[in-house]
Structures are given as structure tokens and as C-alpha cells.
Chains A and B, each alone.
Chain A
């Protein structure tokens, strides 16, 4: 480590400082150097305590928390692919063709990650260079989240366009990292959802499923639609009609979308959103390290459960009869609760506000997905909506606090 430090300080750094040849690229050097060594900045005035957990390390821990979801997602892409070809059966999901599954998954996931980071960081570097400020680490997490919430077979150029849009319009316009109103990764997803609806819905959730179908090698019963896509078909149908019964059979024990399968995540879906288990492991890491807000995560889940119970009580269509626990382990609900809703920038800031923000987020997620079949993934809409509402929530929490203290003061004086 010492030798490396010496090399950077004596050989590399002078090129970027003062009159060095590469001084225009100082921001790039600065950003990469602090990955290796904690910067030696000292505080000039004011508070003299510096926390070792700076933005870069915070972001890095979030990435660590995403690793279980990423690894499971990679495996699941291959798993779904071979299932759709009929090469394996659901009976033995774990051991069969493990390496092949991971290779197929990696072929899909790695390019997504590369494209997302290359586009996003490229824009960040250019803008930081233009404005002469340091490169912020905010995109480390967004750049990882974007590939994780993409459909498996999304064209790469669309990912690039969406990433560029999200970084520019959702973040840089408002002043860069820490100033954004909306969650950057979800903005990218929402952009794709509205911009390319044909490519963002239908049979894209399993690798190559369209080609397999055309080639006649697709296993029986495979359509490549997600759990939510199937359920959306039941809206507007009688509870125990033919369509509803067919769909509900898939959600019963032993079906493709049984409670257990949804919880573990061996179902078609976006790259890493399918596994509630992996998201919960991520949640444990985030809460244990104190980075993710346990208030938001838990109230988000409670909000989803409450809405699920209400729908159960109503039971107007087959979608509403799905159990509340089943509801929250399907789709991107858990992934959104753990990694999207807890975004410290766009979420509510006050503790009471976090309870309200999380609860309503979960509540609306389930409501949107059931009420509006056109938006199967209500989690995205709900979190973006709550992002917009967060400042209002904070405002009323603070106002209430002021009023409470005022009352206490007048009581004490009187």
C-alpha cells in the first residue's frame, strides 16, 4: 500500500496539479484517487470531526448490499432461460446446469452494467469538468441500480438513452448529486416505460423467449410474462371466470408464481427485482450499517400489507384476492422498498416524515398495480410520486413540531 501511495503522490499526481500536462483532467484523477486512499483534507474552520464514512464509502456499502440481488438475478436469468427451453424442470432448480446459468446471466447483465456506467459516468465527468467541480459519487449507486431494474432483453442503446436522460434531466439540471428531486434510477426506468412501451412490456422478461417461440423450441406454457403481467389480465374479469381461474392456478402452491417461488425469486422479471429474499438480505446490510432507513423500509412493507388486506376484504376481482404477503413479494416491491424508497436524497428527511413517506409508498404501490393494468409495476410510479410529495410531508411534520413546541411554551409561561 505504501509503495502504491508513493507512486501516486510522486509520479501520477504532479501531472494533474499546477502546470501538469493533464491538469484539465484533475477532476477525474481526484475521483479515482479517493477510491484508493482517504483524502487528507483537514477542516479549516467550524466543526472538527470528520466521519470516515463519507459519501464514497456510503455509496460503496449500498453497492455491497446490492450484491446478493445481483448474483441471484444473474443466476435467475440463466435459470429462466433454460426453463423456457425445457432443458431443466422446476423440480430441481439449484444444481442443474449451474455454470451454464451463470454464464447466460453474465452475458446479459455485464453489458447492461457497462453501458449504464459508461453513459452515466461519461456525462458526469464532462459536466464536472465543464463546471470545474469535483465528481460526485452519487452515480455509483444509480449506475448499478439502473441495470438491475431493466428487463432482461432490453436493447442496450435504450439503456444508454434512458441513463443519459435520467442523469441530465433528473439530476444535473437540479444541481447534481444530492439536489435531485426524483430517484435517478427510477427516472431512467420510467423514461423507458413511457418512451418505448413496446420494448418494455410483453415477452421480454426471459432471455430470447421471442426467438425460442418463433423457433418452436419454447417449453409448453411459457409466455415470458411476469407475475404482474399475468395478474393484470384478470382485472375486469369475473372472480372465478375462466381467465381468472387459469391465472390463479399459477399463483397457487406448486404453480410457477407460488408464494415460495415469488419469495425466493425463481420467476421471470427484471434483472434483479424478482427475489424478495435477496432484497431482504440487502435490507439487513443497509440497516445494520445504518445507511438505509429502517423506518422507510418497514413502513413501506406495512403500507403494502395494509393495502393488500383491504383488497382481500373487497375481493372484487381475482387480482384482489391474492394474499397481502404474496402481493408484496411479487414484482419489484421489495427491491423498491429496500433500494429505491430509501434513497436519502429524494426521500423524506424527518423521522415522522419517513414513516408517512414509506407507508404511503407501499400503499400506493399495491393500489396502482391492481387498479391500473396498464401500469403493472406500480412500485415505480408510487415511489416517484412519493419523491415529489416528500418535501410537502416534511413541511407539515416540521410545522406540527413548531406548533407543538409553541403550545408547550405558552403552557409553561402561563
Chain B
């Protein structure tokens, strides 16, 4: 869980002050929700087989996150402390249902591929974590920036993992609205007398875990301050 429980700043402050910009950029690297805080792993493993699913998932999380953070931040002074978790859950669940219905209406095939994982956004620890750690103690403006930052931090990991898995696992790249484009010539494959084969392990869930692990490895090799001392 994050440590940024900064209390609301009383004096007037520009929305894009240095401190607020940090809210946007920090989750991309130094306090990335997936690679540093290790939250939201389940969805990162489950829906990164294709880029298009990852894109939709990222957009859904972005929407729920902004909505949740802003709404909870607006209500932060009237939510009784004892029932705050249940209030947060109701807010998130309503937003997730909106996302789910929209997906079902406008892109049923992707909705089918994402299956339960749209519904499971409700339990995505990143969203709850940001509500608890940030929105409850900050004004709507910074809360929105925090939501965008964290959703982006989540999204770029998802997209990176999905890109690796789809390129090496299926020899293709997909995008919502375009569908899957196979860019490797058919003649390359063994079935057609070629020399290449897609890596089936990339499609299996363990490889998502390993890919996330490799990203964490690279990140920590570049940024030594992230390495825990034991």
C-alpha cells in the first residue's frame, strides 16, 4: 500500500504544480502499482494474451479509477469512517457495472474475452488502495491526477506485457476495432515448410508472471533505490 497519505493542502494551489505533477509521473515508475506495489497482479496476468484486451482493460480501469477517486474525494467529508469501505465498494461497483454494460453493448466479442475480469475490477486492489490512501484525504483535483497517474502506471505495464506475449506467442498484434493482424509470413511456419514457430508458453499464464518479473528486474537494475534491504 502506498505511503502518500498527504493531508489536504489548505492554501490555493495550481492544479499542475510540481507536487501535483508528481502525482501523475510517480506511478509510472517509482511507485508503479504493479511492479513496485505489486497490486492488481491477477488481471495483469489474465488479460495480457492480446493487446486489444489489455487496451480495453486499461481504459476500463482508467474510467473506474477517475470516477471512483473523484466521487469519493467529493464525499470524503461526509462518509462516516466506520463504513467507508462499503461506501467505496458501492461507488466502484456502480462504475464497473456501467463499464460492463457499455462493453456488452458496443463490443460484445471483447466483453466475452475479458469475461469475469471486467467484473473483477471491483476487487482490483489498485483502485481500493488509491481510494483509501489518497482520495479520502485529498481534494477532487489532485485525486483525479492521482487516478490518471495510477491508471497509466497500470496500463503501460499491461500493454508492455501484452505486446511481448502477443508478438512472440501469436506472431500478431491486435487493436480494438482492427482485430488481430498476423504480420509473420505464413511460409515461415513449420507447418508450411518454414523455420519458425510461435511460442506457446507465451500464451500460458506463467509467462505473464515471468514477463512482469523481467520488467521488475529491469526497473530495479535501473533504479537501485527500489531494491529492498533485508
Task: Using CB atoms and an 8 Å cutoff, list the residues of chain A in contact with chain B.
Answer: 155, 157-158, 161, 169, 173, 191, 194-199
Contacts and interface: CB of A to CB of B under 8 A. Distances in A.
A158 B195 CA distance: 10
Contacts of B201: 191, 194-195
A191 B204 CA distance: 12
Contacts of B213: 169, 173
Contacts of A194: 200-201, 204
Contact of B200 (A155, A169, A173, A195): A195
A169 B214 CA distance: 8
Nearest to A168: B214
A161 B204 CA distance: 17
Nearest to A172: B217
A157 B188 CA distance: 14
A196 B210 contact: no
Interface in B143-197: 190, 195, 197
Contacts of A169: 210, 213-214
Interface string B191-228: 00001010111101000001001100100000000000
Given A195-B200, A199-B190, A199-B197, 13 more contacts: A155-B195, A158-B197, A161-B199, A169-B213, A173-B217, A191-B201, A194-B204, A195-B199, A195-B202, A196-B199, A196-B200, A197-B200, A198-B190
Contacts of B195: 155, 157
Nearest to A158: B197
A197 B190 CA distance: 12
Nearest to B210: A169
Given A169-B210, A173-B213, A173-B217, A198 B197 contact: yes
Interface of B: 190, 195, 197, 199-202, 204, 210, 213-214, 217
Contacts of A157: 195
B41 to A, nearest CB: 18
A173 B214 CA distance: 9
Most buried by B among A155, A158, A195: A195
B161 to A, nearest CB: 15
A197 B198 CA distance: 10
Q: Is the interface of B mostly helix, strand, loop or mixed?
A: helix
A76 to B, nearest CB: 25
Nearest to A169: B210
A170 to B, nearest CB: 10
Nearest 9 CB-CB pairs, A to B?
A195-B201, A194-B201, A195-B199, A196-B197, A195-B200, A197-B200, A169-B210, A199-B197, A194-B200
A191 B199 CA distance: 10
A110 to B, nearest CB: 20
A199 B189 CA distance: 12
Contacts of B210: 169
A157 B199 CA distance: 12
Nearest to B213: A173
11 contacts: A157-B195, A158-B197, A169-B210, A169-B213, A194-B204, A195-B200, A196-B197, A196-B199, A196-B200, A198-B190, A199-B190
A155 B214 CA distance: 26
Contacts of B199: 161, 195-196
A191 B207 CA distance: 10
A29 B199 CA distance: 37
Contacts of A173: 213, 217
Contacts of B200: 194-197
A361 B172 CA distance: 40
Contacts of B190: 198-199
Contacts of A195: 199-202
A155 B199 CA distance: 13
Contacts of A158: 197
A157 B217 CA distance: 25
Nearest to B221: A130
B214 to A, nearest CB: 8
- Output the residue of A158, A161, A191, A194 with the most chain B CB within 10 A: A194
B190 to A, nearest CB: 7
B219 to A, nearest CB: 14
A252 B124 CA distance: 58
Nearest to A173: B217
Contacts of B202: 195
Contacts of A199: 190, 197
A65 B201 CA distance: 33
Contacts of A161: 199
A6 to B, nearest CB: 42
Nearest to A194: B201
A155 B196 CA distance: 9
B194 to A, nearest CB: 11
A196 B189 CA distance: 12
Nearest to B201: A195
A102 B152 CA distance: 59
Nearest to A155: B195
Nearest to A199: B197
